[in-house]
Amino acid sequence: MGYKYLNMNQKYTVKDIERKKDYLSIKWGDNFKSKFHFLWLRDNCPTAIHPTANMRVFNILTISKDIFPKEYKLHNKKLKINWSEDKHESKFDLKWLRDHCYTEINNKKYKTPYIFWDGNLKKNFNKIKLDHNKIIRQDNYLKKWLELLHSYGFAIVRNSPTRKKSGFKILNRISHHRETFFGTPFEVINIPKPNNTAYTAQALRNHTDLPYFEYAPGYQFLHCLVNDATGGKSSVVDGFAIADYLRKKESDVFKLLTTTHVKFKDTDYTQKAIRILHSPIITLTKDNDFNDIRFSMAAMGAVDINPSKMKKFYEAYQYFASLLQNTKFKIDFRLEAGDIFCFNNRRVLHGRTEFDPNSGNRHLQGYYVERDEIIARLNYFNKIKV
List residues near ligand OGA by CB under 6 A: 188, 198, 204, 209, 234, 350, 352, 364, 366
User: Do strands 154-158 and 129-131 pair parallel, antiparallel, or not at all (unpaired)?
Assistant: parallel
CA atoms in the 13 A half-sphere facing the CB of 148: 20
* Binding-site partner at residue 188 among Zn ion, ligand OGA, none, CB < 5 to 8 Å by type: ligand OGA
CB of 80 to Zn ion, least distance (A): 59
CB of 152 to Zn ion, least distance (A): 19
CB of 156 to ligand OGA, least distance (A): 13
CB of 191 to ligand OGA, least distance (A): 12
CB of 349 to ligand OGA, least distance (A): 9
- Per the CB < 8 A criterion, the answer to whether 305 and 190 are in contact is no
Q: Is 209 in the site for Zn ion (CB under 5 A)?
A: yes
* Binding-site partner at residue 340 among Zn ion, ligand OGA, none, CB < 5 to 8 Å by type: none
Nearest residue (CB) to Zn ion, 225 versus 253: 225
Q: Is 373 in the site for Zn ion (CB under 5 A)?
A: no
Nearest residue (CB) to Zn ion, 63 versus 242: 242
Q: What string of H, E and C letters represents the secondary structure of 262-320? A: EEEEECCCCCCCCEEEEECCEEECCCCCEEEECCCCCCECCCCCCHHHHHHHHHHHHHH
Nearest residue (CB) to ligand OGA, 69 versus 211: 211
Share of the chain residues as helix, strand and coil, in percent rounded to the nearest 5: 30, 30, 40
* Binding-site partner at residue 292 among ligand OGA, Zn ion, none, CB < 5 to 8 Å by type: none
CB of 22 to Zn ion, least distance (A): 52
Nearest residue (CB) to ligand OGA, 222 versus 246: 222
Nearest residue (CB) to Zn ion, 209 versus 373: 209
Nearest residue (CB) to Zn ion, 204 versus 378: 204
* Binding-site partner at residue 346 among Zn ion, ligand OGA, none, CB < 5 to 8 Å by type: none
Strand segments (E) across 159-274 = 186-188, 204-207, 219-227, 230-231, 234-238, 262-266
Stretch of residues binding Zn ion (CB under 5 A), selected from 36-44, 60-68, 204-212, 232-240? 204-212
* Binding-site partner at residue 150 among ligand OGA, Zn ion, none, CB < 5 to 8 Å by type: none
The DSSP-derived string for 352-374 is: E--EETTTS-EEEEEEEE-HHHH
- Per the CB < 8 A criterion, the answer to whether 81 and 97 are in contact is no
Rounded (10°) angle between helices 139-151 and 371-381: 130
CB of 286 to ligand OGA, least distance (A): 30
Residues 6+ apart with CB under 8 A from 365: 164, 165, 167, 185, 186, 187, 188, 222, 223, 225
**DSSP character at residue 184:** S
Q: Site residues (CB under 5 A) for Zn ion?
A: 209
